Amino acid sequence: MHRSQKIFEVLTTRRLIAFLAPQTVEDCVRAYETLAPMGIVLEIAFRTAAALEGIRATVEKHPDALVLAGTVMTSKQADAAVRAGVAGIISADYVPSVVEACVGADVMCVPGGLGDAGKQLVQKAELYGCDFEALREKYPYQWIYKLFPATTENLNFVSLSKAWKAAFKGLRMVYTGGISLQNLGGLAAQDPEGIFCGSAVTRRIDDPGKMKEEAGRWLDIIRGSAPPVTA
């Protein structure tokens, strides 16, 4: 099966992404080995010098690894991440050159922001040479967008996704930015199919046992088997 299709299926089933801005290459391998058995997808962000080598090291050690490259903002970064073996790419904004690079390699691309959901779908469909219906059916891993930021201190933007879903049937949403254990339950209730990303999942990267416990709390809330955490 296509690698992007595989990671898309994991994402839509488990609905949790662990965001990591690695300080070392070993951080990436450790996080992957801790979280992947739980069905949690690791996003390794291009925010540090260790990110690209960390992706390479993870995929070299685990050839079947399904890893995301995050904060990819240039086509050069996208090309490097694809060569390193990622199954998908996430950006903090809609960057047309990144979408073009990803579609050219037939790798899942998840642009982000508070707008442009339709623009990135239009570009993907044009690059594949198909209409919206064919894009959704033949390349479901491209029928996706990231709401960023999902929340701020006083605002919740999750309701924006309802308008996009009305216009673009079945659009899968990734929510990131401001997601915490305290608000996760409420956000998940607003979009029962939503995929959620949190940096707190990897905050105990120095202690795999603690990291696993934290990840378990997030999964329980997303599945609805645990009450929301109060401050």
Q: In the chain, where are the structural domains located?
A: 3-223
pTM of the entire predicted model: 0.95
Q: What residues contact 53, with CB distance under 8 A and at least 6 apart?
A: 25
Per-residue pLDDT band for 230 (boundaries 50, 70, 90) equals low
Contact status, residue 121 vs residue 132, Cβ threshold 8 Å = yes
Residue pair 158/191 in contact (Cβ under 8 Å)? The answer is yes
Sign of CA dihedral 57, 63, 64, 69: positive
Distance, CA of 53 to CA of 35 (rounded, Å):
19
Q: How far is CA 220 from CA 138, 167, 229, in A?
A: 32, 31, 11
Mean pLDDT of the chain: 95
What tens digit of pLDDT does each residue of 118-173 get? 999 999 999 999 999 999 999 999 999 999 999 998 889 998 999 999 999 999 99
Of 35 and 229, the structure prediction assigns the larger pLDDT to 35
Q: Which CATH architecture has domain 3-223?
A: Alpha-Beta Barrel (3.20)
My answer on whether omega of the bond before 149 falls inside 30° of 0, hence cis, is: yes
